Amino acid sequence: MASTATRNGREISVEKEISRGIVAIYKEYLGRGPTTARTSITPHASVTTLEDSLTKAEGTLVAEGQEETVREIRRKFQSAMRADITALVEGVTGRKTCAFLSDHDTEPDVAIEAVVFEPEHRD
């Protein structure tokens, strides 16, 4: 797996490219992206932690004690974003994926997007 990707003719880390891509996907689906995104890659998975991604409406619901409603809505969006996130990770890393796990905690406002790679076969 490559450790860098090319963006606008410049080399950047694969982790940064995945983080930026997931922020863009969040913006597309939710109207805004998180303020912080960090990706870690192991031989087995790509894991992205996202902070401060609640929309104003979701923040209002959380303030009114409706955390579970927000989590339920987010699960639906996470399901909708699945194909885009896995395609992003596969495209940047060059690895096929076999699983996608996603969750969001409203307090603190932290989400996680984990994509598990198919095992690499070594001869």
Q: Hey, is 108 helix, strand or coil?
A: coil
The chain-wide mean pLDDT, for the chain, equals 92
User: What is d(CA 112, CA 97) in angstroms, rounded to the nearest whole number?
Assistant: 17
Q: pLDDT digits over 58-104, tens only? A: 999 999 999 999 999 999 999 999 999 999 999 999 999 999 999 99
pLDDT band at 54 (very low <50, low <70, confident <90, very high): very high
Strand partners, 40: 47
**Residue 50, number of CB atoms within 10 A of its CB:** 22
Whole-angstrom CA distances from 69 to 53, 73, 122 are 16, 6, 45
- At residue 120, the pLDDT reads 83
pTM of the model as a whole = 0.87
More confident site: 1 or 10: 10
